[in-house]
Amino acid sequence: MITFEKYTEIFNEVKKCINDTLIHTKETALENYILFLANAEYKEECDNPQSEMNPYIIDDQIEDFKDENRLRFLVDFLRKYYSFPEPQTIAENDEYRFNIELMIYTHIWESKPFLKKLFRLAQLGNLEPYCWNVNVPEMRKSVFIEKDIKKTLKKNKNPLFAVIEKGFHSSLRNAFAHSEYVFDTSNENCRIWLGNRKRSKGEINDILFDDWSQKFVYSVLLSYHLIAISDQHRKNLVQEIGKDIYTINYPFIIYKNVEIIYRPETNEFIFNRK
């Protein structure tokens, strides 16, 4: 179970970490901030002589569409199970809800759009050029999360490191993805037993229901806030920066400065074709 007080604490913690990271980037590396909000992306399928499209694009609609569907589902789920209508102050342990949560948890930590956003958010603190081409591996995503995301956040002393630490565990993701788990309600210490444990450092055999609830809430709120707060920063961009045209260093064949435009009325970025 999880209390309304604890849920609210996690909600605010995750929200603050993401918002602070974006604000810090805006103040120290504006171009990276713009490219992050513009969903700047490299499309390998367009990088060939037959393609009429440039492989380096902004506002990738397919990635946006995936996020839009996922966000709508997350919002509906959170409203249904974590709205805490009065006088409810606790989300009780519920095996039906837990089964849905295991699916959501696995999808979150397998989602390439989500992991790309997290990777770029981690890299923003390095003051390095924006990474257009993020290679999320098909297998062993836990290594990518640990070494390419968490390690970078920890190095930069970004509190998002602790958020991921509290939410992600490879043992949970692997067991849920392969249906290797059992709910144990045989005594008061209800838990989820994991059936695919490898004898390696850091692996776990089981997790108490209450501990699972916190892991899940950290993960689902990280996924939700990363989308929602990024979108809010995007919609406030012109008002906060004071202009709608931005110069970026564009990486096709050779790097060159080009301009992109943000249109608040349609919430879209386009290249300036002047």
Q: Domain limits of the chain? A: 2-164+217-271
Contact 108, 228 (CB under 8 A): no
d(CA 134, CA 131) in angstroms, rounded, equals: 6
Confidence at residue 69, expressed as pLDDT on a 0 to 100 scale: 80
Dihedral in degrees, nearest 10, Cα atoms 147, 192, 81, 102: 50
Confidence at residue 197, expressed as pLDDT on a 0 to 100 scale: 60
- CA distances to 30, 37, 134, 209, 239 from 124, rounded to whole Å, are 10, 12, 13, 35, 22
Confidence at residue 200, expressed as pLDDT on a 0 to 100 scale: 67
Q: Who contacts 36 (Cβ-Cβ below 8 Å, separation ≥6)?
A: 22, 25, 120, 121, 124, 130, 230
Confidence at residue 136, expressed as pLDDT on a 0 to 100 scale: 95
Maximum Cα interatomic distance, the chain, rounded to a whole number of Å:
70
Radius of gyration from C-alpha coordinates of the chain: 20
Is-cis flag, bond preceding 85, omega within 30? no
2-3 vs 41-42, strand pairing mode: unpaired
- Which burial class, exposed, middle or buried, applies to 43 when counting CB atoms under 10 A from its CB (0-12, 13-18, 19+)? middle
User: Which residue ranges in the chain fall short of pLDDT 70?
Assistant: 51, 196-200, 253, 274
d(CA 184, CA 177) in angstroms, rounded, equals: 19
Confidence at residue 192, expressed as pLDDT on a 0 to 100 scale: 96
